[in-house]
Amino acid sequence: MHRLGSLLSHKPLLNPRAPLYSLISSSTFSYSPNSIEIFYDHLLKSCNGSSSLKQIHSALTTTGLITTSPHLGAQIIIKYAKFDDLNRARLLFDNINVCYDKPTSFLCNTMIRAYANVGQCFETLKLYSFMRKTGTFVNNYTYPFVFKACALNLLVREGKVVHGDALKNGFGSDLYVEAGLVDMYAKCGLFVDCRKIFDEMSTKDLVCWTAMITAYEQAEKPEEALILFKKMQQEEGLLADSIAVVSVASAVGQLGDVKNAHTVHGYAFRKSLIEELCVGNSILAMHTKCGNTEKARLVFDMMMERDVISWNSMLSGYTQNGQATEALLLFDEMRDSDCQPTPVTALIMVSACAYLGFRHLGRKFHDFIVDSRMEIDTNLSNALMDMYAKCGDLEKAVDLFNGIPPTERNAGSWNVLISGYGMHGHGKEALELFSRMQEEGVEPNHFTFTSILSACSHAGLIDEGRKCFAEMKRLSVTLEDKHHACVVDMLGRAGLLQEAFDLIKEMPSPPSDGVWGALLLACKIHGNMELGKTAASNLLQLEPNHTGYYVLMSNIYAASNKWKEVWKLRQDMKNKGLKKPAAFSMIEYGKDILGFHTADQENPYRHEVYKKMESLAIEMKMAGYVPDLSCALHDVEEEDKERMLNYHSEKLAVAFGVLKIDPGMVIRVTKNLRVCNDCHSAFKYISHIYQRKIIVRDANRFHHFQGGTCSCKDYW
C-alpha cells in the first residue's frame, strides 16, 4: 500500500523557488541567451516525449549550439533523464566535454543531478570523483545532490567523506549544503549528526526547517517533528509551504491526533495548498490514520485531480478502519475511472477481502489480478495466502505457499501459513511448519512467534507453547507485549489462570490492554469472577471507553446471576455513551452475501428462517441437545431465555444455509463477535442431523463443524 514516505522521498533538497540561473552564477562561464537559444529553450520546455526530444537534439547538433550553449546542452541532458534515457544523457555529456579543455561545473552538476534523482549513487560518486581529479570546480550545487545519492543508498561512509570535502573547500556553512547534510544524515538514521548540523546552522530557512521536520517524520518520530514545527512557527515566524504540510500531516497521522488533523486541514485549505495533489493526498491519508474516513472521503471527492496514490490512500483507509465493503465499492469506481489499479491496489483489496472473509470475493479478486497480468511478487503471494486462509480455504493457502519457489519465500510467507494453521485449529501442523522453517534456514522473527504462540493457544498445546516462548530468548527475539498476551491467552484458555496472572506480574514493563484483555476473556470462559474484576479494573484504567471490556465483565456477572452488578455496569456504559456492539452474522449464498442481526426483524427471509429455526430446535432436542441458558445474558424467565437463544444471529444464518444452500455445499458463516457456547453446541448437532459441513469464522478463529464435532475440539 501507498505510504507517505514514498512521496516525501522525492522532496527537493534545494529551494524549489530558487531559479536555475541563480545556482549557476558560481560556475566557470557566464551565460546570456540570444534569441535562437531562447527559441530552443521554449521548444525544450514544451517537449513531452523522447521522439521530439531526439529531433531537437539533432537540430542543435547540426547548428553547433549543442556545444556552444551549455544551458541548452544541460536542458537536453535533463530531458533525457526525465524520459529514463540516462545512457543517451551521459553520451551527450561526454561528447560536449570533448570540446572543452576540461568539463564545466554546470554540465557536471547537471549530470550528477540526473544520476542522483534516480538513485544511481555509484554513478553519482564516480562523476563527483571525476570532477575532483580533473580540477573541475565543485560548488554548492554539486554537494547536495551527492548527499542525496548517498542518502538514497544509505552510504554513510561515502557521505561523510564528501562532507569532509565540503568543509575543506569552504562550503560547510553554505545553506544548501547544510540542508543536504541534514537530509542525508536523517535518512541514514544518524540523528545525532543530523541535529548537530541543524542546531549549529547560523541561518535556517524554510527548506532547512522542513528537512529536519521531515527527517523526524520519516523516522517515525512524530512528536519531535511537531515540536520542531511549532518552534519554526513561533520562533522563526515561518509559514509552512506544501512540502512542510505533507510532512506535518504525516506526523499527525502517525499520532492519530484528530484535533491537530483538523488544524492542519484548515491551514492547507486557507492557504489553498490543498489544491496541490501531494498535499491533498497527505491530508486524505492523515484523516484515515486518525480513523476519520468520512472526512477523508470528503477530501477525496473534492480533489480536482487524483492519481493512483489518491485512490490507494482512500481504499487503504477504508480497509484499515474496518470498512471493507466501502473499499470494494470504491474499487469499482476506480475501475470505471481513468486510473488503473496497481500491485499496491491489489494488496489493499486482497486485505479487504480477507477482512470480510468471503471466499467467492477473494477468488474473484484473485482472478482479476491474474487477468490484469499484474506481477505477483512474494508480498502479493503472501497477501493472497492470508486472504484464502481467512476466507476458510486453507488448502488453497497451502497450494499458494507450495507454489512459491523456496528461494523466494521470505519470513512473511512462513508466518502467514503458520498463522493460517493456527486460526483453523491445526496447532500441530503449525509447529511442524515452524520447525521446517528453521531447518530451511529462515530465521523466525517476532511475527513468527506471535503466530506460533497463537496457534498453540487455539489448539491447547500448552507445553509446546511454553517451549516456543522460551525459544524466543535463545534466539534473542525481543519479547513484546503481544507475545505476553498470546501466552496469557494460552494459559488462560487452559484454565491456568493463576499461572497467567503470575506471568503478568513478572512482566518487565506495565501490561497493555491486550494482556489484561486476554486474562479477562479467560476469566469469562472459566467463570472466575474475582480475577475477572482485577483484570477489568486494570483494563478500564487503560481503556476507559472500550465497550468490549465492559461487555466481557458484564457477561461474567450474568453467567453467575449477579444481575445487580450487570445493571451497574450497563448503567456505567449508558452514562458514558457507550453501546454494546450488535451481533451480526453473514452467510455466503451463491455470489451474494446475506446478513442477519440477532432477533432480526428486517431480513426479507425472516419468516422462513424463524420457522426453520423453530423446527431445528425441536430436532436438536430430540437428538440430545440441551440449551445453555447461561448464554442468555438477560434476567428473564427460562422459557424466554431459550427463545432468545434461538434468535442469535449466527443461528439464523446457519438456519438460512440449511434451508437454501444445496445439501452438498458447505455452509459458510462469518460473525463479528465470538460465537457463544450454546450456538457452538447447536452447530455440532445440526452438522450431525443434516450431514452438513458448517464453517463459522468468529472474531477469534475458524470452527469447522462436521459429523457432530468441531475442529476446535471444544477448545476456544
Mean of the pLDDT values across residues 595-622?
91
Mean of the pLDDT values across residues 19-41?
55
Mean of the pLDDT values across residues 118-128?
92
Mean of the pLDDT values across residues 408-437?
96
Mean of the pLDDT values across residues 356-381?
92
Query: Half-sphere exposure of 647 toward its Cβ, with a 13 Å CA cutoff?
Result: 15
**E strand or H helix that includes residue 253:** helix 242-255
pLDDT of 89-118, one tens digit each? 999 999 988 887 777 899 999 999 999 988
> Is the predicted pLDDT of residue 357 greater than 50, yes or no?
yes
Residue 633 is predicted with a pLDDT of: 64
Other beta carbons within 10 angstroms of residue 59's beta carbon come to 13
Residue 20 is predicted with a pLDDT of: 31
b/e sequence 622-643, b meaning 16+ C-beta within 10 Å: eeebebbebbbbeeeeeeebeb
> Is the predicted pLDDT of residue 277 greater than 70, yes or no?
yes
Give CA separation, 431 vs 17, 422, 455, in Å.
59, 9, 8
User: Is 616 in contact with 686 (CB distance < 8 Å)?
Assistant: yes
Range name among 144-158, 467-481, 626-640 with the lowest pLDDT average: 626-640
C-alpha cell at 702: 475458524
Radius of gyration of the chain (CA): 32
Q: What are phi and psi of 592, to 5 degrees?
A: -105, 160
Residue 635 is predicted with a pLDDT of: 58
69 confidence band (pLDDT: 50, 70, 90): confident
In the chain, where are the structural domains located? Answer: 584-710
Identify which of 68, 70, 109, 73 has the alpha carbon closest to the alpha carbon of residue 89.
73
Residue 640 is predicted with a pLDDT of: 74
Q: SS3 of 594, please?
A: strand
**E strand or H helix that includes residue 597:** strand 592-597
Mean of the pLDDT values across residues 230-239?
91
Residue 636 is predicted with a pLDDT of: 60
Residue 682 is predicted with a pLDDT of: 96
Residue 175 is predicted with a pLDDT of: 86
**E strand or H helix that includes residue 584:** strand 584-589
Range name among 146-160, 374-388, 591-605 with the lowest pLDDT average: 591-605
- Please state, rounded to an integer, the average pLDDT across all residues of the chain: 89
Mean of the pLDDT values across residues 334-354?
94
Residue 13 is predicted with a pLDDT of: 32
C-alpha cell at 167: 568543509
Residue 70 is predicted with a pLDDT of: 85
> Is the predicted pLDDT of residue 400 greater than 60, yes or no?
yes
CA distance 366 to 381: 10
User: Is 623 in contact with 572 (CB distance < 8 Å)?
Assistant: no
User: Is 180 in contact with 13 (CB distance < 8 Å)?
Assistant: yes
Other beta carbons within 10 angstroms of residue 554's beta carbon come to 23
**E strand or H helix that includes residue 112:** helix 105-117
> Is the predicted pLDDT of residue 332 greater than 50, yes or no?
yes
Share of the chain above pLDDT 70, in %: 95
Other beta carbons within 10 angstroms of residue 563's beta carbon come to 13
Mean of the pLDDT values across residues 423-447?
95
Q: 679 or 559: which carries more pLDDT confidence?
A: 679
Residue 183 is predicted with a pLDDT of: 87
Residue 634 is predicted with a pLDDT of: 65
pLDDT of 659-696, one tens digit each? 999 998 999 999 998 898 999 999 999 999 999 999 99
Q: SS3 of 391, please?
A: coil
User: Is 573 in contact with 547 (CB distance < 8 Å)?
Assistant: yes
Residue 32 is predicted with a pLDDT of: 55
> Is the predicted pLDDT of residue 548 greater than 90, yes or no?
no
> Is the predicted pLDDT of residue 16 greater than 70, yes or no?
no
> Is the predicted pLDDT of residue 271 greater than 70, yes or no?
yes
Mean of the pLDDT values across residues 365-379?
93
Q: In what order do the strands lie in the sheet with 694-697?
A: 592-597, 584-589, 667-671, 694-697, 702-706, 709-710
Residue 311 is predicted with a pLDDT of: 98
pLDDT of 524-539, one tens digit each? 889 899 999 999 999 9
Range name among 15-19, 118-122, 523-527, 540-544 with the lowest pLDDT average: 15-19
Residue 24 is predicted with a pLDDT of: 33
Residue type, 108: C
Mean of the pLDDT values across residues 488-506?
95
